[in-house]
Structure 1
Amino acid sequence: MTHPPFTRRRPLPFALSSAALCAALPALAQDAQLSTVEVVGRTASGAYHAEEAAGAKTELPLRELPQSVRIVTRQAIDDLGATKLDDVLDYVGGVSRQNNFGGLWDNIAIRGLPGDQNVGMATLFNGFASGRGFNAPRDLAGVERIEFLKGPAAALYGSSEPGGTLNVVSKRPLWKPAHAVEAYGGSHGLKRGALDSTGPIGEKFAYRLNVAVEDRGGWRDHVGAQRQVLAPAFTWKLTNDTVLDYTGEILRHETPLDRGVVALGNRLGAIPRTRFLGEPADGDVRVDNRTHQLILSHLWASGWTGRVGLSQRSTGIHGTSTEASALQADGLLTRQRRLRDYDSDDLAAQAELQGKLETGGVQHELLFGLERYRFDMDTRMLRANPSASQPYAIDIYRPVYGQAQPTPLANTDTFERQRNTAFYVQDALTLAPAWRLLAGARVDRYDQSLLNRRTGVTTPQQPSATSPRLGLSWLPSPQWTVYANAGRSFRPNTGSDATGGAFSAETGRALELGTKWQSADQRIGATAALFEIRKRNVLTADPANAGYSVAAGEVRSRGLELDLAGQVNTHWRVNASLVFNDVEITRDNSLEVGGQLLNVPRVNGSLLAMYEDALPNGQRYGIGGGVTHMGQRLGQARTQAEANAGTAVFALPSYTTAKLVGYWRITPTVRLTLDVDNLFDATYYTSSFNRLWVTPGMERAITVGLQAKF
């Protein structure tokens, strides 16, 4: 797909996309390909294949973009019956779960490279950073799609992992009234209700409101969860060319902090996967997230678009938990009791100017951006360690709850302050009908400090980084693309070394070579990509000062990704992926050189297929299913000394799971759905931090839903 010079297409100034700037918002690119479009509630006859990614900040169609991008559309979310981000991860190639902080947040590695294990993954919400702070598992009630941007994103977004970044795009107001209510019930006491309402209020103002309330009894003993989500949004057309958009999200998630099960030596399965090893008396830990975004966009007469955005986020974790600390040979598990009081505030502002011009027969799509944010994080934890007089232990074979609980004492009390100013530029060049060049760079200037209130010591650092990227696409035919790209990334390391000094920032370098194919009707697309990534300045043990770290480690990731998604014919749509990923430690002062990273498989793959048709009476139905495979993964880091001594590796076994999905549209506005997860009730383990904190996968679960539109 090529565009003639000076084609008047409204630029995509930011992750909210041009659809948010005009009354034609319902005509999303992926839905316009099909005759039937449902805009609220669970969709039907939508698409798996998307043509553009808002997070790429360019009008280049995905087929022309010199980068691998995987988009989980709203149709795929609905076909999977997904209500949270974790439900879709197995269907995105190259994604592996990491430490999820006892079920209190999402955490993944893309292309085998995780972020800070104590913070969670870096993510975007409508193009604004949303990974700073303490983020509850993401609910999908107010989400339109999820964009997995593979490779470095630092040239646009700054601090991030070189393996990739995901951008969550929220649902936007529509200019035609539409409303839907949903109710779900299922295994393990699941109860969930949701509302999606949108429409205009007058000629210049439109709203959208998504609400969800959920109560899960939980499939593990004593581990239930409750959550409430409120996601309002509005679009206000101040003039024909000026639009003000607001997006909000208020989320509360409450659940016991659950570190999972333990392994005996290298053996899993010694205790039931349902067994809880904490204390029910601790009650729930509460995670609160509040997000508000305002974006003012203006289309100038010259065709350029200006945009100013403001994002304010506050997050917090509050509650008490009991967590495993050591396991004796007789099955007695000693535990710590911890009280957490964590809060953060994040205020970010962005200004962008985007437009097109032509010089010397070359068409440019230029983006200039300025970003400033301030972030404060207050972390206070009290901890009670086991002692001879009060071991605070539990027998993993015959657990007895309700014993006297020790009183936690001060352990961590810090205040982190971050300030950052960044400038970025991007140019998407149409060099010739068959050639595209994407070039960009971002310069970041940080001012960061960490105050340890217990010692009174403040550790400052002022790192800076310049993050370039360059990509080239060749379009030899209307359906095929060959591309290559290179980019750099960085991420500041928090904490201090033995001298009280700040660590050097992690840096990454990535190379990618790939090809893309898109059918002539643009309903199905595929990508094959080869990549190599090297990351330096990873924290590792300080050989001269026990208990301290230095930024001297190095990691390498290389692999092959294959993705396919789209509408095969009138009845079938499919989503498939297969990834081979080799990740190893290439330099470290403690861990095994040549060893793997935690929770990263060498092979993972998935297939989701959905069949739709109509009954003789006109009622529609759909039936389908999914299969996912995750290869063997490292379950606990092995030191070089252990490797030299021949100590066996603790690994999480590979697993394959299946799911069944289906729906019956009883009337044009009422639909009944069925979702069966882990169809064959396989026993598997999704991630591990060490032998004492192993997260088991959910047992078979059946969910029945009823959706009504009005």
Structure 2
Amino acid sequence: MTTLSFEHACHRVPLFRRLPLGLAVSALCAGPVLAQSSAPPADGQLSTIEVVGRGESGAYHAEEAAGAKTDLPLRELPQSVRIVTRQAIDDLGATRLDDVLDYVGGVSRQNNFGGLWDNIAIRGLPGNENTGMATLFNGFSSNRGFNAPRDLAGVERIEFLKGTASALYGGSEPGGTLNIVSKRPLWTSANSVEAYAGSQGLKRGAFDSTGPIGESFAYRLNVAVEDRDSFRDFVGAKREVVAPAFTWKLGRDTVLEYSGEYLRHATPLDRGVVAVDNRLGAIPRSRFLGEPADGDVTVKNQTHQFILSHEWSSTWRSRVGLSYRETSMEGFSTEPTALQANGNLTRQRRYRDFSSNDIALQAELQGTVTTGGIEHELLFGAETFRFDMDSLMLRANPTAARPYAIDIYNPVYGWFQPVPTANIDTLERQRNSAFYVQDAIKLSPEWRLVAGVRADNYRQSLLNRRSGVTAAQEPSSTSPRIGLSWLPTPQWTFYANAGRSFRPNTGSDVASNGFAPETGRALELGTKWESADQRMGATAALFDIRKRNVLTSDPVNTGYSVAAGEIRSRGLELDFSGQVGKKWRVNASLVLNDVDITKDNTLEVGGRLLNVPRVNGSVLAVYEDGFANGQRYGIGGGVTHMGRRLGQARTQAEAAAGTPAFDLPAYTTAKLVAYWRLNPTLRLTLDVDNLFDRTYYSSSYSRVWVTPGTSRTITVGLQARF
């Protein structure tokens, strides 16, 4: 069984309210580290092969995806899915989600809120500019609220489900959905300790421990503590992660799983650098344009998930899941507003205090039936969630008397800081109930048909406490999808799929009415290849996506929006991953993507979308071998290319006047990875990012909010297992 139901998803519970840093430190000091494969319980249930701690000789190519919610192997699934395995994460030396994005085709970075969250677009289509694209954690939504950059200490793999997933998960982008799969307990005792030091004051420690407690209970605990400076002046970050998990066999056919995570991330909100006359590089990439006296903005997230699974027979099983999440963000920041001709940058001071609660319940029944010689894998599901978010933001705007400006060429910090006053004070409530069904049909040995549909009923309200006005609406949506695969040989698959998506828009128009949801239509045509030994795989896909009801400026009421915009995304994706020969692992991608605005009240029709390149690609290759004395080594590297991207949306008036578009230049970066395994329990690693120290810009929101890419970074690590 390989469904999200119980074999692949690790899930989390309210075991702790807050686990102090002292626990993390004591766990880190507990000793070395171990990596072993797990042994199944006596009845063979929940068997797996998994490594504890950073390892080698693992796989890049995956055969299944938990997020697809089907037992069909990925080669037979009529959908493009890209999985970043734990081995790929380890080879990249990745500690955050951002570290792997360059090696997944068709993914582009969006506004990351000054370094306080992850925000990406898949196939050129971004999600909500405040909360980002649809992201799942073990199949539960994890992007409602405000979420710190994802740490990978407790992550087993990352699944990029290309195309629309609304038929299974509801509100999402038609370009794709991201599913994070956490590490799960193993049934063989194993422990790992890792320590890292590197450029810009990096210090990081991680601890991973797992094993059985008796015959029916197994645990896992992942802990990470990190403290780093930055190539940016006055900018550093501290984070603590604690991720416990357990698996409890309540009976021969019943399993209860828990996964929990507490994450605290503190860093100054950093809007980056500015462009002068549409030109980047006028000031150093290290220059900070905020105020050091503001201190850190702190983001706290905690997640608890329970999953109860039961095998009713050899062909039917059920799954009931409960997820509870809390998020918060609090702190001061100073953010650029406009650049004057003399080099003075006016700024606005803000204070944010955001918090949210999110509780979700899922129930699924999955099984197989055979009718007329045709096998059906059926999935029936129901989901409901309740989400509340309190948002308080105070602002102090610059004035002629107090411009609160800084000279970008000769910055002087420590000016009198204005006191922000009330600007936003809202309470948002979201409620949803949904039902979905999916049928994966084996029409014959050569044909597979997957069809599904989901019906969502939303209730949304937004209370403006300053005005006392509440905007409310109850949108509903039905999201179907269908896909067909043809398997002419054991190695080749040809497939096609079509589906619809929707995503509720938040906020209200000038009349305090809610906006109609965004809707999308996605078409995909592709082919897949898998080697006979299932160690290599490749996918080529053509896609055409249309999205409607995108928020755009109200042409009559300045400062308000209407749901009237439309976007089109078309492209070609090529992906390859796997073991090439006995000693090489390779991961490669190339994407051509054309995304443009087809309808808008303000923005240039035919214009591009922010931060989306027409071309991006990457290659990662690692070579492994051993010495006569039993020691092993690996060495490799990666190259990524990101094409030119739009850096600030261009209006119709600017286009008519011939105002040049502001673009982020294309860039190519390289990295070096290496390890030396001294003995079966001890390893040394070396990671060098941006090997040639290229100056580049990873994303932008406007000419005065441009995020520079990191300078060359060298990290040395020591990993021990026991």
- Give the structure-1-normalised TM-score: 0.96
List gaps (5 residues or longer) in structure 2. 12-38
Structure 1 Cα separation of the partners of residues 519 and 9 of structure 2 = 33
SS in 1 for 2:168: helix
Following the alignment from structure 1 to structure 2, what is the Cα–Cα distance between the partners of residues 88 and 78? 10
From 553, 560, 571, the counterpart of 2:583:
571
Whether the 8 Å CA contact 2:40–2:46 is kept in 1: the answer is: no
Answering whether residue 86 of structure 2 is matched by residue 53 of structure 1, we say no
Q: Distance in 1 between matches of 2:562 and 2:268?
A: 34
Q: Determine if the alignment matches structure 1 residue 12 to structure 2 residue 24.
A: no
Shift of 1:118: 1.7
Indicate the residue corresponding to 1:516 in structure 2: 528
Aligned to 1:211: 223
**Pair 1:630-2:661 in alignment:** no
Residue 651 of structure 1 is matched in structure 2 by 663
Any conservation in 2 of the 1:15–1:57 contact (CA below 8 Å)? no
1 CA distance for matches of 2:490 and 2:2?
Answer: 23
Q: Which amino acid aligns with 1:17?
A: H
- 3-state SS in 1 of match to 2:231: strand
Q: After TM superposition, where is structure 1 displaced by more than 4 Å over at least 4 residues in a row?
A: 18-22, 24-28
CA contact (8 A) 2:5 2:318 kept: no
Alpha-carbon separation, structure 2, partners of 1:16 and 1:326? 53
Amino acid at match of 2:355: D
What is aligned with 1:343?
355
Per the alignment, residue 717 of structure 2 pairs with: 705
Q: Does 2:250 match 1:238?
A: yes
Q: Distance in 1 between matches of 2:646 and 2:598?
A: 16
For 2:389, the equivalent position in structure 1 comes to: 377
> Which residue of 2 is the match for residue 582 of structure 1?
594
1:148 and 2:160 matched:
yes
SS of match in other structure, 1:76: helix
Contact 2:621–2:636, Cα closer than 8 Å, also in 1 = yes
Q: Which amino acid aligns with 1:205?
A: F
What amino acid is aligned across from residue 130 of structure 1 in structure 2?
Answer: S
Q: What code does the residue aligned with 2:3 have?
A: L
Picking from 108, 111, 129, the partner of 2:120 is: 108
Aligned-residue offset at 1:329: 0.8
Of 168, 184, 192, the residue aligned with 1:172 is 184
CA-to-aligned-CA distance 1:28-74 (integer Å, 9 cap, x gap): 4xx6xxxxxx6100021100000000000000000000000000000
Opposite residue 229 of structure 1, the aligned amino acid is V
Q: C-alpha distance in 2, partners of 1:684/1:425?
A: 46
Contact in 1 for aligned 2:10/2:245 (Cα 8 Å): no
Instruction: Summarize the Cα distance change of 1:470–1:482 in structure 2 as closer, same or farther, 3 Å threshold.
Output: same
**Do 1:351 and 1:369's aligned partners in 2 also have CA atoms closer than 8 Å?**
yes
Alpha carbons 1:15, 1:55 under 8 Å: kept = no
Does residue 672 of structure 1 match 2:680? no
1:159 and 2:175 aligned: no
Partner of residue 612, structure 1: 624
| Equivalent in 700, 715, 718 of residue 688 of structure 1 | 700
Separation in structure 2 between the aligned mates of residue 597 and residue 254 of structure 1, nearest angstrom: 30
| In 2, Cα distance between equivalents of 1:369 and 1:555 | 31
Q: How many Å separate the matches in 2 of 1:550 and 1:530?
A: 32
Identity %: 76
| Aligned counterparts of 1:653 and 1:284: Cα–Cα separation in 2 | 30
C-alpha distance in 2 between matches for 1:633 and 1:488: 27
Secondary structure of the residue aligned to 1:508 is strand
Given that 1:177 and 1:198 are in contact with CA atoms closer than 8 Å, whether structure 2 keeps it comes out as yes
The one of 542, 545, 565 equivalent to 1:533 is 545
SS in 2 for 1:90: helix
Alpha carbons of 1:25 and 1:43: their partners in 2 closer, same or farther (altered >3 Å)?
A: farther
Partner of residue 604 from structure 2, selected from 592, 596, 612:
592
Q: Secondary structure at the match of 1:75?
A: helix
Counterpart secondary structure, 1:51: coil
1:174-213 residue pairs with structure 2 within 5 A? Answer: 174-213=186-225
Matched, 1:458 2:470: yes
Q: Corresponding residue for 1:5?
A: none
Using the TM superposition, give the Cα deviation of residue 217 of structure 1 relative to its aligned residue in structure 2, in angstroms.
1.4
Partner of 1:89: 101
Of 422, 446, 453 in structure 2, the residue corresponding to residue 441 of structure 1 is 453
Counterpart secondary structure, 1:642: helix
TM norm structure 2: 0.95
User: Aligned equivalents of 1:275 and 1:575: distance in 2?
Assistant: 35
**Could you tell me how far apart the structure 1 residues matched to 2:4 and 2:46 are?**
18
Asked if 1 retains the 8 angstrom alpha-carbon contact of 2:196 and 2:205, the reply is yes
Pairs within 5 Å for 1:55-74: 55-74=67-86
Matched ranges for 1:458-477 at <5 A: 458-477=470-489
Matched residue of 1:414: which SS?
strand
Match of 2:435 in 1: 423
Secondary structure of 1:223's match? coil
Take 1:120 and 1:538, find their aligned partners in 2: how far apart are those partners? 14
Q: Secondary structure at the match of 1:559?
A: strand
CA distance in 1, matches of 2:4, 2:93: 32
C-alpha distance in 1 between matches for 2:513 and 2:415: 43
Paired with 1:615 and 1:629, the residues of 2 have a C-alpha distance of 35
Q: Is the 8 A contact 2:219 2:246 kept in 1?
A: yes
> Secondary structure at 2:419's aligned position in 1?
coil
1:83 is displaced (CA, Å) by 0.2
CA contact (8 A) 1:11 1:354 kept: no
Distance 1:142 1:562 in 2: 29
CA contact (8 A) 2:226 2:240 kept: yes
The answer as to whether partners of 2:164 and 2:174 remain within 8 angstroms in 1 is yes
Distance 2:707 2:40 in 1: 45
| Aligned residue-pair number | 693
Quote the residue 1:7 is aligned against. Answer: none
Q: 1:18 to 1:322 in 2, by over 3 A?
A: closer
Q: Is the CA contact (8 Å cut-off) linking 1:194 and 1:213 kept in structure 2?
A: yes
Query: What letter is aligned with 2:560?
Result: Y
Unaligned runs of 5+ in 1: 1-9, 32-37
Residue 304 of structure 1 corresponds to which residue in structure 2?
316
Partner Cα distance (1:678, 1:297) in 2: 45
Q: How far apart, CA to CA, are the structure 2 residues paired with 1:254 and 1:300?
A: 46
Query: C-alpha offsets along residues 418-457 of structure 1, whole Å, 9 cap, x if unaligned?
Result: 1000000000000000000000000000011000000000
SS at match of 2:578: strand
Q: Which residue of 1 aligns with 2:566?
A: 554
C-alpha separation between the residues in 1 aligned to 2:352 and 2:710? 27
- TM-superposed CA distance for 1:17, in Å, is 2.5
Could you tell me which residue of structure 1 aligns to residue 653 of structure 2? 641
Q: CA deviation at 1:547?
A: 1.7
Alpha carbons 2:578, 2:585 under 8 Å: kept: yes
1:401 corresponds, among 396, 413, 418, to 413
What are the Cα deviations for residues 503-538 of structure 1, in whole angstroms up to 9, with x where unaligned?
A: 111000000000000000000000000000000001
CA contact (8 A) 1:236 1:243 kept: yes
Provide the rounded CA distance (Å) in 1 between the counterparts of 2:545 and 2:190.
Answer: 46
CA deviation after TM superposition for structure 1 residue 121, in Å: 2.1
2:134 corresponds to 1:134:
no
Checking the alignment, whether the CA contact within 8 Å between 2:188 and 2:212 is kept in structure 1 is yes
Pairwise CA distance, 1:22 = 6.5
Helix, strand or coil at the partner of 2:222? strand
Alpha-carbon RMSD across the aligned residues, in angstroms, is 1.3
Question: Which whole-Å CA distance do the structure 2 matches of 1:43 and 1:705 have between them?
Answer: 12
Shift in Å, 1:19: 9.2
- Asked if the contact 1:265–1:691 (Cα under 8 Å) also holds between the matched residues in 2, the reply is no
